A and B are shown apart, each in its own frame.
Chain A
Amino acid sequence: METKTASSLDAEMEQYGRELGRMVQTRDLLGDLLWIYASHPGLLARNRRLLEKMRLLMEVRCAACPDAVCIARFYPGLVAIRDSLAAIYRKSQQSFLLAPLRGSLDRLAADWDDLVEDCALAKDREVRRLIFQIADAL
């Protein structure tokens, strides 16, 4: 069950990453920018859903997971999504037509950046080793 959940989340993240990648590739043309506008509400909804699922997965697995292998598995996909969102945000800074989307894109990129940071810390062996040592020495 858990593997199935992780696999479907994997697939969902991959698809989301691909769609964001297409947005990053768009040219600064009215048609492309209108496409970004049209995709924006869906982007927000999917983004929220994916983030919630990832956080839930992290929390549910928290007690049972013996190491951070599960996190390492998702990590490249998370970084790709964060980087794409940051690139789309930069695009919105260059085009005044996308200016109204800047705030929400900035928030999306910040939320994924937090998740990437959390995973980078949680999966780092040295950080984990030190935390366990601190806990032992308390």
Chain B
Amino acid sequence: MPFDLRRFPAFDRLLQETLKKYPLSLPNISRLIDSLPVNYQEGEVYPGFGGLQVRKLRLPLKEYGLGKRKGLRLLCLVAPEKGQIVPLMIYKKGEFASESKVVAEARKLLAALLSELAPR
């Protein structure tokens, strides 16, 4: 099934911010994100989302000698019924001190994405 990639400004801002320290990796990571409609089955699947798929990909920062384990985490939403893939969140592994901080950041970012999607 062909998917359309839907990128939101909040995600792109986060991508720029996350890669500030790793500018050489920006083209490569952007290319990987653009290829999501083809590689949508990659990554770990989160349970409990019914017909939706929430996946997490581990992306290396090869230009800085960082493999997948120490690289970036990209969370994306695959919505088959809508034929869309949405990158939701990206962060560097170890950027947050604990999983509760990752969750807090995810809440903030998802709320921002939602407000861009359905402006009040």
Q: Give A contacts to B, CB under 8 Å.
A: 55, 58-59, 61-63, 65-68, 70-71, 107, 110-111, 114, 116-118, 120-124, 126-128, 130-135, 137-138
Contacts and interface: CB of A to CB of B under 8 A. Distances in A.
B47 A71 contact: yes
How many of chain B's residues touch chain A, expressed as a range?
A: 35 or more
Contacts of B102: 117, 120-121
Interface of B: 6, 44-54, 56, 58, 69-70, 73, 75, 77, 79, 82, 84, 86, 88, 93, 99-100, 102-103, 106-107, 110-111, 113-114, 117-118
B75 A121 contact: yes
24 contacts: A55-B44, A58-B46, A62-B47, A62-B53, A65-B48, A66-B48, A70-B47, A107-B69, A110-B93, A114-B69, A114-B73, A114-B93, A118-B46, A118-B56, A121-B56, A122-B48, A128-B49, A130-B111, A131-B52, A131-B88, A132-B49, A134-B86, A134-B113, A137-B114
A116 B84 CA distance: 27
Nearest to B53: A62
B110 A130 contact: yes
Given A110-B69, A110-B70, A117-B102, A134 B114 contact: yes
A130 B70 CA distance: 27
Consensus secondary structure, chain B interface? mixed
Contact of B46 (A62, A116, A130, A134): A62
A116 B44 CA distance: 13
By CB atoms of chain B within 10 A, which of A58, A118, A132 has the most? Answer: A118
Contacts of B93: 110, 114
Given A58-B46, A107-B69, A122-B46, A137 B52 contact: no
Given A131-B88, A133-B114, A134-B86, A118 B44 contact: yes
Contact of B117 (A63, A118, A134): A134
A46 to B, nearest CB: 19
B115 to A, nearest CB: 10
